[in-house]
Amino acid sequence: MIRVSLPARINIVGSPTDAVEGAYATISAAVALRGGADIEPAQSIELCRRGGRSATFAKAAITEHHGFALETAAINALLRFAPELGAQLSRRGFTLNTWTDVPASSGLAGSSVLLIAVLAALRAFYALDARRYNDYVLAEIAQRAEEHDLGVVCGFADRYVPIFADVAYLSYHGKLWHAPLGEEPYVTYEKLGAHVPPLELCVATTGVQRDSGSVHEPMRRRYLEERRRGRGSLLELSRQLGETAWRGKIALLAGDLVAFGKQIDRNQKLIDDMMRDCGFTGGAGEEVNCLVAAARQAGALGAKLTGAGGGGAIFALAQSGLASAMADRLREAATRAGLKGSEAFVLPVTTRGLVVEHADQQTSMTPTD
């Protein structure tokens, strides 16, 4: 058996410009919640999830997903991009079990974590060329699987951060138009963890699940229309969102978490303005804004949504030693606001990205620490 696992992610500043509404940059971080997949030989394709749900498929491209949309999208995408996989699949099938500790639809890239886990598990199981199908290519295939196979309007942070981990500055220069693989740059992934102070991040989910694509689709469509015209309010808002990332990087490298937090707060206001401009009357979302306000009142250096907005989760950058107390305050605020299903927890940044282990070795094939 081969086991693959990856961490969730938080977009700290610069979002949502990860090639969704603009081609700028984000500072994002991998956090200590994980999901993954276990794979072993079988006669056909057998897909399972924690809890016992399963389905069996023929050893070929899959036309009906039977409740396994993420898994089948990953399989079909890899069959397109790695044609040699088809011949190997016809000779040897597999059983794939996916699992996750990432709350569903919470803005922590939980769906992307599972999709990438399937891609990485298949790459290892069928010993696909690790240079040709390197981790950058895997992230790019994951984005195309979500956009083209699942119809989800999405960018690139969710596909890169779980693989490479740490806190990082991601540049999306040249990726605005989502060109075919090989016809645009890869993301530039600059790890910052060794050069910046520790980040104490507290996450609170709203308990409201939403499809991130339903938020990003109208925003991206509007932005691209303005880009073609050469004018429009979203162009300016996106420019300012991109500025929060590079200014945030300067502050973070200087060890100035107060200045860094101000860019987080500025980012949240710009997202709220952008969503209202695109017809979302509640802006980033009533539940989101409620928890952001509570975090700031509790002394957060900065707080904003993570994910698409309209639900999902927020995070707060806590002052040193106060993250647990911040989580308590956010739980109290969620209770007062009647946010059923809300959770709050401290999530350390992790340098442990994509890990691939063989059951007989229990050693990482992809050292990421």
pLDDT of residue 364: 46
DSSP one-letter string for 121-161:
HHHHHTT--TTTT-HHHHHHHHHHIIIIIS-----SHHHHH
pLDDT of residue 210: 59
pLDDT of residue 369: 37
The most distant pair of C-alpha atoms in the chain lies apart, rounded to whole Å, by 60
Is the CB of residue 282 less than 8 Å from the CB of residue 243?
A: no
Question: Which SS3 state, helix, strand or coil, does residue 1 take?
Answer: coil
Asked whether the predicted pLDDT for residue 23 surpasses 90, the reply is: no
Backbone angles phi, psi at 67, to 5 degrees: 90, 0
Ramachandran category for residue 280: left, alpha or beta (phi over 0 → left; psi -120 to 50 → alpha) = beta
Report the percent of the chain where pLDDT is more than 70.
Answer: 95
Question: Which SS3 state, helix, strand or coil, does residue 318 take?
Answer: coil
d(CA 214, CA 218): 7
Asked whether the predicted pLDDT for residue 153 surpasses 90, the reply is: no
The pTM assigned to this predicted structure is 0.93
d(CA 37, CA 97): 5
Mean pLDDT in residue range 262-281: 92
Asked whether the predicted pLDDT for residue 104 surpasses 60, the reply is: yes
CA 277 to chain CA mean position, Å: 24
Q: Helices in 254-301 by DSSP H: which ranges? A: 257-277, 286-297
pLDDT of residue 209: 65
Pick from 347, 352, 350: nearest CA to 366: 352
The string of pLDDT tens digits covering residues 278-322 is 888 888 888 999 999 999 999 999 999 987 666 788 999 999 999
Asked whether the predicted pLDDT for residue 362 surpasses 80, the reply is: no
Between the alpha carbon of residue 248 and those of residues 92, 349, 350, the distances in Å are: 49, 17, 20
Total residues found in the chain within this entry: 369
pLDDT of residue 309: 61
The string of pLDDT tens digits covering residues 221-245 is 899 999 999 999 999 999 999 999 9
CA 129 to chain CA mean position, Å: 25
> Six-digit token pair at 98?
């996916």
pLDDT band at 368 (very low <50, low <70, confident <90, very high): very low
Pick from 140, 359, 357: nearest CA to 368: 357
Dihedral angle of Cα 341, 145, 74, 88, to the nearest 10 degrees: 180
pLDDT of residue 19: 72
Ramachandran category for residue 165: left, alpha or beta (phi over 0 → left; psi -120 to 50 → alpha) = left
